[in-house]
């Protein structure tokens, strides 16, 4: 039996050229979709341009407008950030805070934290303005510092200082975990939020004395499956090291894993 040939008389020439046989209705529909799609992307572009005029991207560290090729922070801030260089020295002032208290392999903070300084602004953005990008930037900076340090080689796990679930709910994330994600983007080491957990909510640390802070954080961290960290090198990650009491409490719990090696990296420490 002979196959019936299609009737070419009612077909659009464009459709014929493209090798498809579409009815007029289908062509009209396709035309509509094309027009809507083109206009939509144009509208998105226009809206984004208007938004960037109303709310231009600014550097969270200095408040200056970002240039088109500047990402997260401006070039000037990136260059002038107050880096400590502590990751290269085993006996740096942050590491000394823990001497005689808890054995740590290496301790450092990437930046100096000064009131109203660039780093304070960046950390404020991360903690109170939902600016995860600021945290990823700081995390990458921590990674850049420890990558070239002999003390931080062979890390098996990145472990952020845990935040109580209630705080995570308010903030939307754990800021130390965002720092860890920034570190992970350069170091490609597993990130664990299951080993070290926080069991009880603590009051805010900022206005407490050193002793009060220690009482506040002691015994609130719990280690799950300590055996799985046996003989591993873990990197404990925090945003700012001030008195060191939170790190000390976390490290004390981590140290219950047999033969574990604990290193600490923070985004910042106070200037002095
Ligand atoms: Zn800036």
The token pair that represents 31 in the structure block: 């035309």
pTM for the predicted model, two decimal places: 0.77
- Pairing state between β 196-198 and 233-240: unpaired
Enumerate the domain spans of the chain: 8-54, 77-270
- Residue 216 C-alpha from the chain's centroid: 26
Distance CA 186, CA 158 (A): 12
Tell how far the Cα of 118 is from the centroid of ligand 1, in angstroms.
8
Tell how far the Cα of 77 is from the centroid of ligand 1, in angstroms.
4
The continuous run of DSSP H or E covering 234 comes out as strand 233-240
Grouping H, G, I as helix, E, B as strand and the rest as coil, residue 270 is strand
Q: Which residues pair with 233 in a beta bridge?
A: 261
Tell how far the Cα of 65 is from the centroid of ligand 1, in angstroms.
8
Tell how far the Cα of 137 is from the centroid of ligand 1, in angstroms.
13
DSSP string for residues in 150-166? GGG-S--EEEEPP--HH
Tell how far the Cα of 168 is from the centroid of ligand 1, in angstroms.
28
Tell how far the Cα of 19 is from the centroid of ligand 1, in angstroms.
55
Tell how far the Cα of 124 is from the centroid of ligand 1, in angstroms.
14
Grouping H, G, I as helix, E, B as strand and the rest as coil, residue 95 is helix
Q: What is the pLDDT along the chain (272 residues), one digit of tens a residue?
A: 445 555 544 444 444 444 455 677 776 776 767 666 767 777 777 776 666 666 678 999 999 999 989 989 999 999 999 999 999 999 999 999 999 999 999 999 999 999 999 999 999 999 999 999 999 999 999 999 999 999 999 999 999 999 988 889 889 999 999 999 999 999 999 999 999 999 865 555 566 666 666 566 667 899 999 999 999 999 999 999 999 999 999 999 999 999 999 999 999 999 86
Handedness of CA 20, 25, 28, 33 (dihedral sign): negative
Count, residues in the chain: 272
Q: CATH for 77-270?
A: 3.40.50.2020
Distance CA 44, CA 38 (A): 10
What integer pLDDT is reported at residue 199 of this predicted model? 83
Q: Which residues pair with 268 in a beta bridge?
A: 111, 240
What integer pLDDT is reported at residue 40 of this predicted model? 75
Tell how far the Cα of 195 is from the centroid of ligand 1, in angstroms.
37
Q: Which residues surround ligand 1, an ion (CB under 5 A)?
A: 59, 61-62, 74, 77
């Amino acid at each position: 039996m002979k196959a019936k040939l299609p009737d070419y008389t009612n077909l659009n020439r464009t459709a014929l050229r493209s090798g498809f046989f579409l009815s007029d209705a289908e062509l009209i529909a396709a035309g509509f979709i094309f027009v809507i799609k083109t206009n939509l992307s144009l509208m998105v572009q226009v809206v984004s341009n208007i938004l960037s005029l109303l709310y231009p991207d600014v550097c969270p560290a200095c408040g200056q407008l970002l240039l088109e090729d500047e990402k997260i922070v401006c070039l000037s801030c990136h260059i002038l950030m107050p880096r400590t260089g502590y990751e290269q020295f085993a006996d740096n002032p942050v590491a000394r805070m823990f001497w005689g208290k808890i054995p740590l392999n290496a301790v450092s903070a990437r930046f100096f934290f000064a009131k109203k300084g660039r780093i304070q602004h960046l950390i404020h953005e991360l903690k109170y303005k939902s600016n995860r990008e600021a945290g990823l930037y700081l995390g990458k900076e921590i990674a850049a510092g420890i990558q070239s340090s002999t003390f931080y080689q062979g890390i098996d796990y990145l472990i952020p200082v845990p935040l109580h679930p209630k705080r995570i709910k308010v903030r939307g994330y754990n800021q130390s975990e965002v720092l860890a994600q920034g570190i992970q983007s350069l170091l490609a080491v597993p990130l664990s939020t299951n080993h070290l957990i926080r069991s009880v909510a603590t009051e805010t640390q900022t206005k407490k004395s050193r002793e009060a802070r220690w009482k506040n954080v002691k015994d609130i961290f719990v280690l799950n499956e300590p055996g799985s960290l046996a003989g591993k090198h873990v990197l404990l990650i925090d945003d700012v090291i001030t008195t060191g009491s939170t790190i000390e409490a976390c490290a004390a719990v981590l140290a219950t894993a047999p033969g574990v090696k604990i290193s600490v990296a923070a985004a910042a420490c106070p200037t002095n």
